[in-house]
């Protein structure tokens, strides 16, 4: 009886996995994309870390007109609005079309 797995070579498979590691693949860049909050504005204030500017001004402006991603670190984005910059996790944001 022929074994269909005779062609399988563990060493070759490990090399293939190493070459296709997530760290070696290019990640999608969101820099320059326009975004807005996914949640209601009351909850959104708790989910951001303000870097520059007044938190209330930033949240109000971002909820009305959105902002632009200027830096990306994994799933966290630095977002720019006219009144300042803040950091927020990707899951609380959505793209503006």
Widest CA span in the chain: 74
Q: What is the pLDDT of residue 25?
A: 46
Does residue 4 lie in a domain region? no
Domain range for 90: 30-95
Does residue 19 lie in a domain region? no
Cβ atoms of 80 and 67 closer than 8 Å: yes
**Does this model's pTM top 0.85?**
no
Does residue 43 lie in a domain region? yes
Number of other CB atoms surrounding residue 41 within 10 Å: 12
Does residue 83 lie in a domain region? yes
Q: In total, how many domains does the chain have? A: 1
Name the nearest CA neighbour of 72 among 46, 20, 22, 33.
33
pLDDT in tens, 30-60: 899 999 988 777 778 888 999 999 999 999 9
Does residue 6 lie in a domain region? no
pLDDT in tens, 52-96: 999 999 999 999 999 999 999 988 999 999 999 999 999 899 888
């Amino acid at each position: 009886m022929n074994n269909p797995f005779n062609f399988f070579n563990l060493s070759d498979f490990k090399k293939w996995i190493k070459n296709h590691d997530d760290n070696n693949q290019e990640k999608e860049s969101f820099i320059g994309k326009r975004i807005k909050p996914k949640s209601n504005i009351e909850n959104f204030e708790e989910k951001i870390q303000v870097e520059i500017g007044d938190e209330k001004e930033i949240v109000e402006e971002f909820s009305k007109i959105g902002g632009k991603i200027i830096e990306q670190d994994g799933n966290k984005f630095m977002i720019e609005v006219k009144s300042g910059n803040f950091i927020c996790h990707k899951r609380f944001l959505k793209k503006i079309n």
